[in-house]
């Protein structure tokens, strides 16, 4: 995570939640080696708060033009709120298909545009993806019981695969 100012409680939850991502996605990640753990990177703001997460080489279901995408999620309100949609490379050939599939998940597009602008992200396209009816119940005493980032990304994969 790189920034010592990050709240130790918040960082501890995030580290455990990243393990949830790997555990829940293990059947979808093409390699299960330790190298895949470097696929998720956390970035912090100068203030020390958690800012965003980049899931490098997120596996795309069959039928997409690219087999992997770098997906960015804003996590500055974590663990109290879920990520605000997802961001992918605006030049990706997968954008039209992802937009079509996520159509039923779309909320206000200007919300994500404002977040992206606020986060100074360029080259990324914001795609509104809300998880679990945009509700989030994070249980700090039992991460597997409530909503978590592992479930968020697994659910995203299943939606993109047409299973949800």
Residue 141 lies in a domain: yes
SS3 assignment, position 140: coil
Mind listing the pLDDT tens digit for each residue in 67-109? 889 998 888 788 888 887 888 888 999 999 998 888 755 554 5
Domains in the chain, number: 1
Mind listing the pLDDT tens digit for each residue in 24-35? 888 787 655 555
Mean pLDDT, range 129-157, rounded to an integer: 87
Domain extent, residue 76, equals 8-160
Residue 1 lies in a domain: no
Name which of 140, 119, 162, 137 is nearest 152 in CA terms: 137
- Tokens representing 70 are 């770098």
- Tokens representing 81 are 């709120």
Its sign, for the CA torsion 14, 140, 134, 66, is positive
**Mean pLDDT rounded to a whole number for the chain:** 78
User: How wide is the angle at C-alpha 157 spanned by C-alphas 146 and 133, nearest 5°?
Assistant: 50
């Amino acid at each position: 995570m790189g920034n010592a100012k990050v709240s130790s409680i918040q960082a501890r939850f995030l580290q455990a939640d990243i393990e949830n991502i790997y555990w829940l996605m293990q059947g979808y990640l093409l390699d299960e080696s330790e190298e895949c753990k470097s696929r998720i990177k956390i970035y912090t703001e100068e203030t020390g708060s958690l800012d965003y997460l980049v899931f490098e080489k997120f596996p795309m279901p069959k039928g997409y033009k690219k087999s992997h995408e770098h997906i960015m999620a804003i996590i500055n309100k974590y663990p109290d709120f879920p990520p605000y949609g997802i961001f992918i490379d605006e030049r990706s050939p997968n954008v039209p298909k992802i937009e079509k599939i996520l159509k039923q998940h779309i909320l206000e597009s200007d919300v994500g545009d404002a977040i992206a602008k606020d986060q100074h992200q360029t080259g990324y396209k914001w795609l509104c993806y809300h998880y679990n009816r945009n509700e989030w119940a994070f249980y700090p005493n039992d991460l597997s019981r409530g909503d978590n980032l592992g479930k968020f990304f697994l659910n995203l994969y299943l939606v993109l695969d047409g299973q949800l």
